Amino acid sequence: MKRSPTSHKGENGKVAIIGGSRHMHGAPLLCALAAERSGADLVYLSLPDWHENVAKDTALNFQVYPFQMDDLQAEDIEPVLSLLATMDCAVLGPGIDHANEDSKKALMQIIEGASCTLVLDAAALQPETLKSVKGKTAVLTPHLGELERMEVKEKELEKASNDSGAVIVLKGPEDKIVGSDGKSEIIKGGNAGLTVGGTGDVLAGLIGGLIAQKMDPFEASVLATKIIKKAGEELEDDDGYAYRAKDVIKEIPELIKKMS
């Protein structure tokens, strides 16, 4: 991606990742690593306090803001919103405990109060999400199960996008991306190896990192989806289907050079 040769630290993207729970430390970390490898200048990570040290060990450049309690709670809403007010984009939801009603309630309040562009994944995809993002710039990245939880039928994607103003990336063997301005695109490719845990987190982080670098949300969603699928194809040549989400992340910088 092009950038000014005279730009300074932070001018090429500040992105925050808000996620994680006791049993899901990897999701926000994979998301943050993908955002970092997108080329974003600064990556901020807010996750449960018991994962603070592993987050710091994962990448020296992460700026880590642990939740005040074990999981996301009401006490975290104001600190997180203060952080997001300084961001170009934020990814919300990866690894948040679906069964923790307090965490989900706090997450929805953060979505409603956020002032930056949002990428919403996993636990951030609830029946009220589409209503909460009206008037905001947002990308939603559901698979079919999450789309069902949002109470949206696949044939209603375009209407849901138009009504909410959000870009919707429906993940599957063929990804369908729709925008509120009538744009839509089907992304083919990839392989069954991309069913490995964490690739959805990587996609969300990559979209967030590209948006933070001033890419249009629809175009960022298309490019990120193509990159993930192409990475799977290239990894299959050497590893069959036994590659990991972290292996996909390693492919990102070279594929951005080739495809953007």
The CATH number assigned to the domain holding 172 equals 3.40.1190.20
Query: What pLDDT is recorded for position 6?
Result: 75
Cα–Cα nearest to 121, from 201, 223, 23 = 201
Alpha carbon separation from 4 to 211, 212, 227 (Å, rounded)? 16, 15, 24
- How high is the pLDDT of residue 21? 95
The answer to whether position 83 is within a domain reads yes
C-alpha–C-alpha distance, residues 53 and 59, integer Å? 10
- pLDDT at position 10 is 73
Pairwise CA distance, residues 80 & 192, whole Å: 36
Measured from the Cβ of residue 16, the count of other Cβ atoms closer than 10 Å reads 27
What tokens appear for 171 in the block? 């993940």
Task: Say if residues 117 and 224 touch (Cβ distance below 8 Å).
Answer: no
Instruction: From first to last of the 260 residues of the chain, give the pLDDT tens digit.
Output: 777 787 777 778 999 999 999 999 999 999 999 999 999 999 999 999 999 999 999 999 999 999 998 899 999 999 999 999 999 999 999 999 999 999 999 999 999 999 999 999 999 999 999 999 999 999 999 999 999 999 999 999 999 999 999 999 999 999 999 998 889 999 999 999 999 999 999 999 999 999 999 999 999 999 999 999 999 999 999 999 999 999 999 999 999 999 98
Residue 5 lies in a domain: no
pLDDT value at residue 155 = 95
Domain assignment present for 242: yes
For residue 120, the cross-strand partners are 92, 140
Per residue in 129-141, pLDDT tens? 999 999 999 999 9
Tokens of 102: 């307090």
Residue 200 lies in a domain: yes
What percent of the chain shows pLDDT beyond 70? 100
Q: Which residues of 161-170 are buried (b: 16+ CB within 10 A; e: fewer)?
A: beebbbbbbb
Q: What is the pLDDT of residue 11?
A: 77
Which pLDDT value is given to residue 250? 98
**pLDDT the model gives residue 190:** 97
Strand pairing of 14-18 and 89-92? Answer: parallel
Within a domain: 199: yes
Specify the pLDDT at position 252: 98
Structural domain contains residue 19: yes
Supply φ then ψ for residue 205, to 5 degrees. -65, -35
CA angle 59, 64, 68 (to 5 degrees): 145
* Number of structural domains found in the chain: 1
Q: Which residues contact 180 (CB under 8 A, 6 or more apart)?
A: 161, 162, 164, 165, 166, 167
What integer pLDDT is reported at residue 5 of this predicted model?
Answer: 80
- Cα separations in angstroms, 109 against 14, 114, 140, 197, 213: 22, 9, 16, 27, 26
- Domain boundaries, position 240: 14-259
pLDDT at 2: 74
Q: Is residue 8 part of a domain?
A: no
Q: What is the pLDDT of residue 3?
A: 77
The reply to whether 9 falls in a domain is no
pLDDT (tens digit per residue) in 101-110: 999 999 999 9
